[in-house]
Amino acid sequence: MVARHLVFKLWEGEAGIKGASTSSVPIQPSTALTYPTEGSHRVEFIVGQAEQLEAVLSKVQTIPEVSSVVTLPARAEGEDQTRVSLNCTEKAMQDVVALLSQNGLYRKTEILLLQKPLLPQTGMGRLCKLSEPASLSALIERIKNYLKLSYVRLALGVGKTLESQIRTVAVCAGSGRSVLQGVEADLYLTGEMSHHEVLDVVGNGISVILCEHSNSERGFLLELRDMLDTHLENKVNIIVSEIDRDPLQLA
């Protein structure tokens, strides 16, 4: 959320560079807290004989944490058979597999790890594509102006200059290396990275702007205050510090 706010203010909102609106997507998308159905795994297997099917189903349905048992007609090896699909937890999956092994069905079994649904436009970091490229120097001034900073730390990618054109920017507030690692972009914008992390990035031709950890987050506090005011129905007086500063200063 902090990165998305930063992207909007820098490039998509009124403070953005003229003609440089962006489209952006999360770098690491978030998922829902729960699965759409019960269970984290789906087990599918094929049974040939009706007697065996009845026996297996009766035992499967006694296993705790098994749900959504479905049978469908299938044809395999030139014979009419039945395909069984069920959802279960990881713990129950062990019992299901043991049961299928006892009945000689393990070789006809598929196990699928279910994924929690993605939450649209939600996640860590943002990968932004500028509708029109802008020079690195122009972006630096825009960033300093919005964050109210007298300086940022800059590492030029190999073969790049201040006039290099930037088309894609990967953004992560705070300490962003774990989120930004491996992302293809012209520029990384984050709060902090280690010496060797920066060397690794610039060696791949990607420039890096570091704003210091809390400087990349502080601009979101006013937005967060308003969100909390709404959520708490203005029943709590929320104060944003006027003296909070990044602990690292120039001496």
- As annotated, the binding site for a divalent metal cation includes 213, 217
Tokens describing residue 242:
């006027």
The secondary structure of 14-67 as a DSSP string is TTSPTT--EEEEEEEEEE-SS-SSS-SEEEEEEE-SHHHHHHHHHHHTTSTTEE
DSSP state letter for 161: -
- What is d(CA 47, CA 85) in angstroms, rounded to the nearest whole number? 11
**Cβ within 8 Å of residue 80, ≥6 positions away:** 73, 74
The H or E element containing residue 82 is strand 79-88
Q: What three-state secondary structure class fits 166?
A: strand
Amino acid at the residue 139 = L
